[in-house]
Amino acid sequence: MAPLDGLKVVDLTRVLAGPFCTMMLGDMGAEVIKIEEPLHGDESRGWAPAVGGWSTYFLGVNRNKKSVALDLRLDAHAEALRRLLAQADILVENFRPGSLAQLGFGYDEVARLNPRLVYCSISGYGQTGPRAGLSGYDAVIQGESGLMDVTGQPDGPPTKVGIAVTDYLAGLYAAQGILLALFERQRTGRGQLVDIALFDCLVSALTLPAGIFFGTGEAPARMGNDHPSIAPYETLRARDGLIIVAAGNPRLWVQLCDAIDAPHLASDARFATNADRLRNRGALKAELESRFARYPLDELLQRLEARNVPCGRVRSIADALNDPQLNARDMVLTIDHPAIGEIRNLGNPIKLSGTPGINKRPPPALGEHNDEILSGLLLPARP
């Protein structure tokens, strides 16, 4: 039995943070019922690129769900949702704060309908505070949080991270908050509101630059691929490509020097301690790259790995996704899709030894499960 088997999730989310959260719950056995507006559904269904008429964006975060098409402005459709919520364990929504309350589905109304329900709201800035009413999107939050200010080259502009990191963090925090609320419900019998803000989530990940600011009063600057507190912990050039080296303690620094036949560097006064290496980072890079240039990248990696020095290539997405390690860990799933054949998804990184879960149902067509879900509520399939 999957760990969340028997739990029913009503999913009123779209695009990424919410769908990522509910997919994680569905992977582990929860029944996830995705409520979509009838005409277009989740807007990401229309986002390019597409395979066989299906958005790759939508396919990536909507497996293990059932789709029901409802227009909550219509009385019959709103009644269908109420009946679903009366039976549900979890509601996840990412409307702008206040929007669902206007439709009669705010937290207070739904808690009266089903006091055991865990109600998770994901929004840009949360349900409270002076910015609560504002919309929030990943790119905006990356800018507002300060993340862009510490990302990029020192002489370049602030830079966005290459993925929607805000949404993924929010989805993970939402799933964690939901599980915490379910655990509490076992003791009290009552659900509660889980309030997740994209802004909070991304700021929470800035512990290193925040610690520098809190401790020194100075905001850290952009440092490209350098680390503000450790050296060498960065990308360096070998003869035929870039390598990432992470010598995060004195032992690893000595092992790195041994691996490249340069024990004299470990005893060089300029590089004796981590603080010394940070002060003399330019000279350190020059010395290391001079030694690295003697080796093809493959040989350099072998030398470092043989001495347990953390290191790696700077790989393309294609190279990374073809790594046999991912297949060994079930991190690339092949799913049979009735409309377009086999699709590949990234797997769930949570590996449980006793109840692994990981269902593999394909993402649903818009309204695909109206008949199944609504007839079970004694409602017409097309209310």
- 102-132 pLDDT, tens per residue? 999 999 999 999 999 999 999 999 999 999 9
- Environment class of 252 (CB within 10 Å of its CB; exposed 0-12, middle 13-18, buried 19+): buried
Residue 138 vs residues 16, 44, 174: alpha-carbon distances, Å: 10, 15, 16
Average pLDDT, the chain: 95
133 with 65, same domain? yes
376 vs 116, more confident: 116
Does 222 fall in a domain?
A: no
Q: What CATH number did the domain enclosing 282 receive?
A: 3.30.1540.10
Query: Within this chain, do residues 146 and 292 fall inside the same structural domain, yes or no?
Result: no
Task: Give pLDDT, residue 378.
Answer: 66
Residues 36 and 10 sit within 8 Å (Cβ to Cβ):
no
Does 300 share its domain with 368? no
| In a shared domain, residues 199 and 261 | no
Cα 155 to Cα 152, 158, 282, 364, distances in angstroms: 8, 10, 16, 46
**pLDDT range class, residue 381, cuts 50, 70, 90:** low
Would you state the pLDDT for residue 382? 63
Which SS3 state, helix, strand or coil, does residue 219 take?
Answer: coil
- Per-residue model confidence (pLDDT) at position 252: 97
Question: For the segment 242-257, what is each residue's pLDDT rounded down to a tens digit?
Answer: 999 999 999 999 999 9
Contact 335, 343 (CB under 8 A): yes
Position 357 pLDDT exceeds 80: no
In a domain, 123, yes or no: yes
Distance between CA atoms of 175 and 181, rounded to whole angstroms?
A: 10
If asked whether residues 194 and 246 sit together in one domain, one would say no
Which of 6-10, 263-267, 312-316, 357-361 is the least confident region?
357-361
Q: Are 50 and 57 in contact (CB under 8 A)?
A: no
- Residue holding tokens 């590089």? 271
% of the chain with per-residue pLDDT over 90? 95
Say which CATH number the domain at 154 has: 3.40.50.10540
Phi, psi dihedral angles at 69 (to 5 degrees) = -95, 115
Residues 139 and 84 in one domain: yes
Q: Is residue 259 part of a domain?
A: yes
Q: How far apart are CA 82 and CA 377, in angstroms?
A: 10
Size of the chain, expressed as the number of residues it contains = 383
The confidence band for 355, taking pLDDT boundaries of 50, 70 and 90, is: confident
187 and 58 co-located in one domain: yes
Q: In the predicted model, what is the mean pLDDT of residues 305-311?
A: 98
Q: What is the mean pLDDT of residues 283-305?
A: 97
Q: 383 in a domain, yes or no?
A: no
Question: In this structure, are 167 and 27 located in the same domain?
Answer: yes
- pLDDT over 80 at 380, yes or no: no
Do 298 and 330 fall into the same domain?
A: no
Residue 357 lies in a domain: yes
Q: What local confidence, expressed as pLDDT, does residue 347 receive?
A: 94
Pair 307, 166 in one domain: no
Mean pLDDT on 216-221: 93
Q: How confident is the model at residue 1 (pLDDT cuts 50, 70, 90)?
A: confident
Task: Dump pLDDT digits (tens) for 118-172.
Answer: 999 999 999 999 999 999 999 999 999 999 999 999 999 999 999 999 999 999 9
Q: Is it the case that residue 337 has pLDDT exceeding 90?
A: yes
Evaluate whether residue 1 is within a structural domain. Answer: no
Tell me how many domains the chain contains. 2
- Cα(3)–Cα(352) distance, integer angstroms: 9
CA-CA-CA-CA dihedral for 25, 377, 67, 27, to nearest 10: 20
Residue 300 sits in the same domain as residue 188: no
Out of 315, 349, 365, pick the residue that ends a domain. 315
Domain that holds residue 370: 8-205+325-376
Report the percent of the chain where pLDDT is more than 70.
Answer: 98
- Kindly state whether residue 215 falls inside one of the protein's structural domains: no
User: Of the candidates 273, 293, 315, which is a domain's last residue?
Assistant: 315
Question: Is the pLDDT reported for residue 306 higher than 70?
Answer: yes
Average pLDDT over residues 23-29: 96
Residue 383: the pLDDT is 63
Please list the residues that pair with 345 across neighbouring strands. Answer: 333
Which residues are known catalytic residues? 227
What pairing do the DSSP bridges indicate for beta strands 90-93 and 8-12? parallel
The mean pLDDT value for 60-73 works out to 97
Of 267, 289, 315, the last residue of a domain is 315
Residues 69 and 153 in one domain: yes
Question: Alpha helix locations (H) across 93-188?
Answer: 99-102, 107-113, 138-145, 165-188
Helices (H), the chain: 17-27, 56-60, 75-87, 99-102, 107-113, 138-145, 165-188, 198-204, 207-216, 250-259, 263-267, 274-279, 281-292, 297-306, 317-321, 324-328, 370-376
**Structural domain includes residue 220:** no
Say how far apart CA 170 and CA 200 lie, in whole Å: 9
Nearest CA-CA partner of 66 in 88, 49, 47? 88
